[in-house]
Amino acid sequence: MLSMLPGFIGSIWGERLCKKTSPLRILIFAEILGLLALAFPVYGLLHHNVPALLVVQCIEALLSGISYPALTLLFKRGLRHDELPAATAMETIIFASQVLLGTGLGVLLFGLIDTLHLLAIDALSFVASAILIMMSAAAFRTAETQPTEAMPGRQEPLWRAISPSQKRTIMLLPALAAVGAPAMALLPALAQEIRPEDSAGLALPLLFARSLGQLCGPLMLDARKLQLYAVNNRILLACLGIFIGCYFLLPLSAGYSYIGLILIFSAHMASNIVFALGTFGILGNFPQTQVAKASAMSWRAQVLAATVFTGITSAMAHYFGAFNALYCMLPFSLGIVGVLLWLNRTKAPNNVNLRLRE
């Protein structure tokens, strides 16, 4: 909960800030706040204060919510329409740096060097990020002159003003969160039930396999067909079905760690195909005047879906066990997502089908 709910408030702030200031300034502001937030883990380590460590989760979620609308607006401004598929690759690169330089390198260094030295390296990464963003400002000087808000006058709520296909686009990432968040939250508990004697030794490789699968998923897509894939319910449900199937087979990997790693890798590779299509849909289906608001709305719905379904799943796991909760919740959430996709089904534009035939 601490790593998700503050992102709801953060996305509201991020959306409002995008109307008043440059998205580059918002990202620099987020990096500076992230640097200052390192005071909490330092205090927590020096005084053995667990709440101070948990505050870091809240701040990370808050800053992620603030940054997401700004980053989406930056992609929309910096890329032409035919270059928007590159935004999914950019998201993959961003996630890769987080996984390989953050989680991966952090796990390797933890225990080898002093924790305060590790936090000092983390502080340097925030400083380097802020400097790189400032250096990139020159490339966006022309784009910064473009308006971020819609035409003046009284504006009705975005949800009422947009088309059914745009509503479907906003719902895609929350749908993924409803299916994926319970399984991701249960992964350490599943590792404990599979190998009670060495759950930590299995959980960390499973978490890393999950991250690598998330990284590789978007690489499986043909950039020329992203718009067609995004409106194809069969592809979306097939990916979510693969995700669930791999988690259902996880108990069979007991005693065979490599099978479990392959299953988790495959599951999250499939789920991040849906994530890439949702990201592309928001960039491709909304004009610059609406993209920050649409991305913030999708982020908030994603946070709420993840919170509700994870909360229910955790309560079930507490009373009935992790695997029983998994077997009950995942088909239930997939059924809800299937109904929503069917009710909001749409077709690819004719120009997309024409280009594919050519």
* Domains of the chain, first to last: 6-144 (no CATH), 159-349 (1.20.1250.20)
**Cα–Cα distances in angstroms (integers) from residue 189 to residues 4, 99, 318, in the given order:** 19, 21, 10
Q: What is the structure's pLDDT at 126?
A: 92
Report the alpha-carbon distance of residue 295 to residue 208 in Å, rounded. 27
Average pLDDT of the chain?
80
Answer yes or no: pTM beyond 0.95. no
The answer for residues whose C-beta is within 8 angstroms of residue 267's C-beta and 6 or more apart is 183, 210, 213, 242, 243, 244, 245, 246, 247
Q: Kindly state the average pLDDT of the residues 238-262.
A: 82
Axis crossing angle, helix 288-320 with helix 257-285, rounded to the nearest 10: 150
17-55 tens-digit pLDDT: 988 888 899 999 999 999 999 999 999 989 988 888 888
Of 228, 229, 227, 262, give the one whose Cα is nearest residue 247.
262
pLDDT band with cut points at 50, 70 and 90 for residue 356: very low
Report the alpha-carbon distance of residue 161 to residue 166 in Å, rounded. 10
Report the alpha-carbon distance of residue 352 to residue 252 in Å, rounded. 42
Q: What is the structure's pLDDT at 289?
A: 82
